Chains A and B, each alone.
Chain A
Amino acid sequence: MAQSSQATGGLASIPALLQRNATQFADKDAYREKEFGIWQTWTWAETANEIEALALGLINLGVSEGDFVAIIGRNRPYFYWSMVAAQCVGAVPVPVYQDSAADEMEYILGHCGAKYAIVEDQEQVDKIIDIQDSLHQFEHMIYIDPRGLRKYDHHQLHEFSHIQAQGRAARDEWITDLEARRGKLTYDSTCVMLYTSGTTGKPKGVVLSNRNVIESAKNSAEFDGLTAGEEILAYLPMAWVGDFIFSVGQAYWTGFCVNCPESADTMMTDLREIGPTYYFAPPRVFETQLTNVMIRMEDAGNLKRRMFHRFMEHAKKVGGDILDGNPVSFMDRLKYRLGDMLVYGPLKDTLGFGRVRVGYTAGEAIGPEIFEFYRSLGINLKQLYGQTEATVFITAQPDGQVRADTVGVPAPDVEIKIDDNGEIHYRSPGVFVEYFNNPESTASTKDAEGWVATGDAGFFEKDSGHLRIIDRAKDVGKMADGAMFAPKYVENKLKFYPDILEAVLFGNGKDRCVAFINIDLTAVGNWAERNNIPYASYQELAGHPKVLETIQGHVETVNKSVADDPMLAGCQIHRFLVLHKELDADDGEMTRTRKVRRVIVADKYSDLVEALYGGASSVSTETEVTYEDGRKGSIRATLELRDAAVVPVASKVAAE
């Protein structure tokens, strides 16, 4: 446990790694951002220069050691520099989800007592000005994009480039101070503070030290053999621990290049242009991409479509084995090679996965069918299991031992134990320092010996030594007859269908299960277009009888497959409805990382759940919705409740 910075050659902080990279990789690309249609590039030497100017500017502005600096914006080099510049001057960067509503930001900025914020544009500036009155410690705000901000009162508002210019001008004055502050950083200094999204309760500020970040980056980079030659696309929220580890921790440790997309809408094009070698995405992104591929294949010509299906079938059969180095017959290899030329290769290229050497998915369980689809194409997609509190890594799948239903073996230097209730605990150099200003939560999560409770239930498989996650420990329940209730297992099966975006299963303590379903507007909308089905709104499409018919078919197929597992056969869906609105983070129904908040959904739509259990065939409801700018409205709908055929379970039949 007691790693010292000696292990990393005296490189005890991110700013120290920056200085090393500026010498060692001086002319190598460190950051790229597509702007004005061109990939703008900064080398490590230029990056060090930009960060120094900003750090000097921050000192000039009055930033002291220990101050908290909120960072609010999408992935841009400027924000990564801001985080490192804040570290250089001894302050603590606190990245915040940029799509947070004002009250969520108010909580976070108030909780850590942030004095400064570096934000993207007018939208964020307005949000902070709205809440500024209740933030007593708040002092200055720095923005990157000046558009629309010319007329604002600039007493406490500064443009990013001006702060840098002031820093450059005052270099002589502050450089000694900066060097002194940078020299004081140790392995125990705080590296970053990240607020967990939290499926329940208020967000908690997880404090991570330089040790946590650098050790985790070092171990994981060695685990996957990452080098300075990797290219990654930084598009996941900066407030999420994963992005911090990949785009800062590992990037600074190995010296690889971080590419930032032009805007959220151009991400797919940018992904294709960059062709990352190391790629990370939550299951949702893979699901969306697969949905898009399937939609486009439906629209493709007859020959292409037949080739696609034919070769995908073959890939499904042998692709995974070839990737894992298992024996495959010569003819099958030959056919796979042909498929690679005609289908898999071009498809990977279109998806931007042509060069991916290591790809990870995490955050949630991925549907096995989705996972296998990418694997069969020859993309080395693996799963890992992690948490903010662990600085990401708890387990990961080594190359050649990849399976859809496990999350792999303990990551380097991580110890894992499973307690009597099946809950997973771990101990590692990545274990977080504390929850900021919250000793009770810290104590209830991390014990005196450094073991952290994950809140997830799981077990180690005997033969492979891989960890399998069952579900969130608190989500797993029992049905009235004592059978296990594991909602996520069923939901993931439903979400495999491109038509279904999200599903929520209910049934804890009940005699049967019911489900809410969200349709995927892209997939279903495309289907409606092809079948000449007019619709005016999401709500209308979601309630269309033909859509309900299709969804019912999916539910019944899932029931059949659930019934195959004797342990979970009780989780078959007896009744379901298609929700009239998408579950949304703005309404608090999901976390910002798009995980369903089960309890809140159950509470908010309690009338619908009751109706499903009550046996009515339709129900009228009114739902409050929050718009992006925080205004509230409500939508009314009459929903059709449908029965789905279930496969009778042997034991139940006997009992009756």
Chain B
Amino acid sequence: MNDMSNDSFVTDDGRTIGGVVMEMKNITLRFGGVKAITDISFDIREGEIRAIIGPNGAGKSSMLNVISGFYVPQEGEVWYKGAKRPPMKPYQVAQQGIARTFQNIALFEGMSVLDNVMTGRLRQMNANLIQQALWKGKAEKEEVENRAFVERIIDFLEIQHIRKTPVGRLPYGLKKRVELARALAAEPSILLLDEPMAGMNVEEKEDMSRFILDMNDEFGTTIALIEHDMGVVMDLSDRVVVMDYGKKIGDGTPDEVRNNQDVIDAYLGVAHD
């Protein structure tokens, strides 16, 4: 599975995994003298669920921030859809079809769930300020179309009952789901999830796992996720990158990674000389 060929293939459970859509080549990221990421390369294929795991401080979130354009690495190249990506602002990355959720939820607390999810559609709305203000022609048409799309996502993530509820009043697990809805509303070709299950109880984790699998299945969304819960990662993902102290120590299917001695050492600890 981990060969370098670029052909699409069908997994055991009947999903089609396409060619490489994003490739990280020898990325190194430094904050002053601190190396957060050292010379890491991996790829993400179309339609797969790709996990990045590692102990605390391994550089996982930094890696995700490099993908989303929040950090610009000092060395290395990011290739997206067959072209080398120049340094970009996060909004430009978003315009390219890469959406994300955050480890610490970043929603508009005072706005309703519906309005929050609608913000995910901004990229699809082109009406200018005057049209928006007058609520005529293009603005109205766009709003109706996008609302219809957003309603499908609300239905998909089963949050109809909180549609009109201000986000600030929601419990943590539901906020996570709203954030996911907003990211999904952008119709991303790659969806980045930063610890989607952090702080959830078992039932909420099960729900979230189901949504992630269904999203991948239903919309064919390519998903890259960071997660601490090993059980969840091993169950969900097609391939796993393991990081430790900013370096890549493993890459492959969950089974391959599970039996990798470096990974076992990193997680269980090993005596350093």
> Which residues of A line the B interface, CB within 8 A?
35-38, 147-148, 150-151, 262-263, 265-266, 269
Contacts and interface: CB of A to CB of B under 8 A. Distances in A.
Nearest to A151: B14
Interface string B6-27: 0000000111000000000000
B161 A37 contact: no
A89 B272 CA distance: 76
A37 B163 CA distance: 9
Given A36-B151, A151-B14, A265 B160 contact: yes
A265 B161 contact: yes
Of B161, B217, B218, most buried by chain A (CB within 10 Å of CB) is B161
A36 B148 contact: yes
B152 A147 contact: no
Contact of B217 (A35, A148, A269): A148
A513 B192 CA distance: 61
A37 B218 CA distance: 21
Contact of A147 (B13, B15, B161, B214): B214
12 contacts: A35-B155, A36-B152, A36-B154, A37-B147, A38-B151, A148-B210, A148-B217, A151-B13, A262-B160, A262-B161, A263-B161, A265-B160
Nearest to B217: A150
Contacts of A266: 160-161
A637 B58 CA distance: 42
B151 A37 contact: yes
Where chain B touches its partner, the secondary structure class is helix
B154 A37 contact: yes
A539 B214 CA distance: 34
A89 to B, nearest CB: 31
A266 B160 CA distance: 7
Contacts of B148: 36
B75 interface: no
B158 interface: yes
Contacts of B155: 35-36
A38 B156 CA distance: 15
Nearest to A37: B151
Contact of B156 (A35, A37, A147, A263): A147
Nearest to A262: B160
A269 B155 CA distance: 16
Given A36-B148, A36-B151, A36-B152, A147 B218 contact: yes
A269 B165 CA distance: 12
Contacts of B152: 36
A265 B163 CA distance: 11
Where chain A touches its partner, the secondary structure class is loop
Nearest to B149: A36
Nearest to B15: A151
B214 A148 contact: yes
Contacts of B154: 36-37
B29 to A, nearest CB: 38
A263 B158 contact: yes
Nearest to B14: A151
Of A36, A151, A266, most buried by chain B (CB within 10 Å of CB) is A36
A263 B214 contact: no
Contacts of A148: 210, 213-214, 217-218
A259 to B, nearest CB: 15
A17 B106 CA distance: 55
Contacts of A265: 160-161
A150 B13 CA distance: 10
A230 B218 CA distance: 39
Contacts of B217: 148, 150-151
A266 B161 CA distance: 5
A150 B148 CA distance: 23
Interface in B139-174: 147-148, 151-152, 154-156, 158, 160-161, 163
Contacts of B210: 148
Interface pairs A-B: 9 shortest CB-CB: A265-B161, A36-B151, A151-B14, A37-B151, A266-B161, A262-B160, A266-B160, A148-B214, A263-B160
A265 B159 CA distance: 9
Contacts of A269: 161
Given A37-B154, A151-B217, 7 more contacts: A35-B155, A36-B151, A36-B154, A36-B155, A38-B151, A147-B214, A151-B13
A151 B218 CA distance: 11
A159 to B, nearest CB: 14
A151 B16 CA distance: 11
Contacts of B214: 147-148
B179 to A, nearest CB: 20
Contacts of A36: 148, 151-152, 154-155
A284 B64 CA distance: 50
A208 to B, nearest CB: 34
A269 B214 CA distance: 28
Nearest to A36: B151
Contacts of A150: 14, 217-218
B133 to A, nearest CB: 24
A150 B213 CA distance: 12
Interface in B194-214: 210, 213-214
A147 B213 CA distance: 11
A312 B98 CA distance: 57
Nearest to B155: A36
A586 B218 CA distance: 31
A652 B163 CA distance: 60
A55 B163 CA distance: 36
A263 B154 CA distance: 12
A633 to B, nearest CB: 12
Nearest to B161: A265
Contacts of B147: 37
Of A37, A150, A269, most buried by chain B (CB within 10 Å of CB) is A37
A308 B240 CA distance: 60
Nearest to A266: B161
A88 to B, nearest CB: 30
Nearest to A268: B161
B165 to A, nearest CB: 11
Contacts of B13: 151
A23 B105 CA distance: 55
A269 B15 CA distance: 39
Contacts of B151: 36-38
